[in-house]
Amino acid sequence: MRKRKDLFWYLLFVLPLTLVFISVVIIPFFMGIGYSFFSWDGMPLNPKIYVSFENYIKLFSDERFITSAYHTLYYTVLAVVVINILGFAFALIVTSKLKLRNLGRTMLFMPYLIGGLILGYIWKFIFSDMMRSLGEMTGMTDIFFNWLTDPDLALLAIVIVSTWQMAGYVMIIYITGIQSIPEDVIEAGKVDGAGFWHLLVHIKLPMIMQSITICLFLTLSMSFKIFDVNFSLTGGGPNNATEMFAMNIYNEIFSLNNYGYGQAKAMIFFIIVAVITLVQVAITKKKEVSM
């Protein structure tokens, strides 16, 4: 009798969320695996043709997809490095003895709250019309011209915008790390005559390794999955020169109507993202044990 009652309460608490979750995440995931073996244009009335692994084989000779992979890799490496260096530098400044540090922290974090889509549009103005107008004003047309029409600079523009968005975010995580360093360790270092760089490299950095790992992988997987800024700032252009993974998948499915093939790309995308994240978890866990 009691058992039955417990089961009732258990299901009442757990089932609503679980059912929604299954219909939104689990079923689509397995259906996605299925779709990736078919050729289909997305029209409900048109036939889905089973093509076995053909979609996956086609991927490796799809130049646009390979190029988008290359863009993503290039962008990710640059973005991860720049975001983390800047974010860490911000964190160092904001944890110093400056009186205005809290105001500064508030200001530096703000861009993160404005979504990637709107940020992209704001910077679109800066990189296109404002750059051009600055060029006319200063005469330095080598630097100040519409960056978004240049394939390399357009990609760099995306790095700059993501940095602007994310630096404040990783700053917050680094601050938590820096504040957890015991005060006396720093003091002891200072007494022993350690300068700024020595303190930084030999004391602070080793003591916030966990924050560094978290930030690196967080920015890594976020950069890898970038879509919104890509969509609004460059739209993948000029000539697909800045189209990245997520956008390539989106275009393959919803613009070119290759639902099956696009889904195969999406599965590969999943595998890469999963591997990155699992490596992160493994590393973070190991660090915790050794500490």
Contact residue for other proteins among 91, 108, 148, 158 (CB under 8 A)? 108
- Minimum distance between the CB of residue 107 and other proteins, rounded to whole angstroms? 4
Exposure b/e, 185-197, CB count within 10 A at least 16 = b: ebeebeeeebeee
99 binds other proteins (CB under 8 A): yes
Q: Which of residues 178-237 bind other proteins (CB under 8 A)?
A: 211, 214, 218, 225, 227-228, 231-232
- Minimum distance between the CB of residue 255 and other proteins, rounded to whole angstroms? 13
Contact residue for other proteins among 125, 152, 188, 282 (CB under 8 A)? 125
Whole-number Å distance between alpha carbons of 184 and 291: 19
Q: Which of residues 144-183 bind other proteins (CB under 8 A)?
A: 164, 169, 172-173, 175-176
Contact residue for other proteins among 82, 126, 205, 283 (CB under 8 A)? 126
87 binds other proteins (CB under 8 A): no
Q: Whose structure tokens read 């390539």?
A: 248
Contact residue for other proteins among 49, 98, 185, 201 (CB under 8 A)? 98
Q: Which stretch in 56-64, 73-81, 97-105, 144-152 sits in contact with other proteins by CB under 8 A?
A: 97-105
Residue 212's CB: how many other CB atoms inside 10 A? 18
Q: Which of residues 18-77 bind other proteins (CB under 8 A)?
A: 18, 20-21, 23-29, 31-32, 35, 42
Q: H or E segment at 22? A: none
Could you say which DSSP state residue 114 is in? Answer: S
Strand partners, 50: 38
DSSP string for residues in 203-263: IIHHHTHHHHHHHHHHHHHHHHT--HHIIIIITT-STTTT--HHHHHHIIIIIS--HHHHH
Contact residue for other proteins among 1, 43, 45, 113 (CB under 8 A)? 113
